[in-house]
């Protein structure tokens, strides 16, 4: 009797995960990623996938980042920030790591449901420092934003 229950739960779990994977494949087709190392705006989508990007834009304006059952690592440490830059970050059962230069000010608006958000960028004393507005939402996910070494983006990784 117990064996049947365990076996039924196992097959139910496999079916649910297969359904998520199939939905992920469909969503990847509907929501393709856009942006490369010189793009001023990014639209990154990682669904059951991973993305690593080092951006060197001369006028980074922001964009959107979505990790759903996936992970995204973005290194902005060599980018130059445009005025009024805004980045929307969503992590749903996934993770996002964003590395910024030490001179940037980060203005973070965050909300989380059973997730974690870590914003560790030093806030420069210069009132005219470039400011990146980041809106972060996590659902059973994690987001890390900071200067220097960031989880998933240490100084020795090749991004």
8 A C-beta contact, residue 31 and residue 45 = yes
Nearest-angstrom CA–CA distance, 95 and 138: 9
What average pLDDT does the structure give for the chain? 85
Max Cα-Cα span within the chain: 69
Q: Is 44 helix (H, G, I), strand (E, B) or coil?
A: strand
Q: What is the pTM of this model?
A: 0.77
Nearest-angstrom CA–CA distance, 115 and 23: 22
What are 41-69's pLDDT values in tens digits?
999 999 888 999 999 999 999 999 999 98
Q: Which sign does the torsion angle of CA 17, 20, 21, 22 carry?
A: positive
pLDDT of residue 137: 96
3-state helix, strand, coil in the chain (%, to 5): 20, 45, 35
pLDDT of residue 159: 40
Q: Of all residues in the chain, what percent carry a pLDDT higher than 90?
A: 55
Tokens 């902005």 -> residue: 76
Joined together, the tokens standing for residue 34 give 């856009």
8 A C-beta contact, residue 87 and residue 110 = no
Task: Give the CB-side neighbour count of residue 97, counting CA atoms within 13 A.
Answer: 20
């Amino acid at each position: 009797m117990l064996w049947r229950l365990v076996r039924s739960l196992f097959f139910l779990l496999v079916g649910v995960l297969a359904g998520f994977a199939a939905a992920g494949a469909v969503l990847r087709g509907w929501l393709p990623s856009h942006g490369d190392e010189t793009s001023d705006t990014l639209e990154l989508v990682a669904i059951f996938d991973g993305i690593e990007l080092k951006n060197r834009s001369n006028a980074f304006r922001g964009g959107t980042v979505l990790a759903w059952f996936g992970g995204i690592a973005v290194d902005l440490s060599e980018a130059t920030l445009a005025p009024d830059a805004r980045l929307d970050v969503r992590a749903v059962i996934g993770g996002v790591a964003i590395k910024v230069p030490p001179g940037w000010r980060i203005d973070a608006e965050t909300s989380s449901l059973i997730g974690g958000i870590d914003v560790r960028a030093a806030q420069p004393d210069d009132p005219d420092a470039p400011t990146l507005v980041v809106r972060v939402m996590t659902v059973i996910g994690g987001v890390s934003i900071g200067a220097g070494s960031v989880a998933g983006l240490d100084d020795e990784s090749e991004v």
